[in-house]
Amino acid sequence: MLETRLLTLSNGLPLAIVDMVHQISHQPVVTKDTIRDVYHEAGVHYRDWTNVILFIYWIAVLFRFVALGTRSYESYFLAGFGVTLLMILRNVASMLR
């Protein structure tokens, strides 16, 4: 159970394994609860939404050109607003990294 937990949470990083073993070494007795309390940030998996945001961005840009070609200025304005919102979202996401 300990080996599985360490390998799962370490995500293949040796330093993460050393940190978690160091957490356990301070306990007088290693129990199942102690093993369950071990935690490391290396094992957290995040989803990458970059491709989805870029796809929606390019759809909005395409929609702007279609709206301009059909002389639908309301749609052109809404598509421009959507492109602006997606660019702001991209900039805020890059600042939060």
* pLDDT tens track, the chain, 97 positions: 877 877 777 777 788 878 888 888 888 888 888 877 887 777 677 777 878 888 988 998 899 899 989 998 898 999 899 899 988 988 888 887 6
78 in Cβ contact with 60 (< 8 Å): no
Res 81: pLDDT: 92
Res 57: pLDDT: 87
- Do residues 56 and 75 share a domain? yes
**pTM of the full structure:** 0.52
- Do residues 58 and 80 share a domain? yes
- Do residues 37 and 64 share a domain? no
The span from the CA of 6 to the CA of 36, in Å, is 10
Res 62: pLDDT: 92
Res 53: pLDDT: 82
Spatial neighbors of 2 by CB under 8 A, at least 6 apart, are: 24, 30, 35
- Do residues 39 and 65 share a domain? no
Res 59: pLDDT: 92
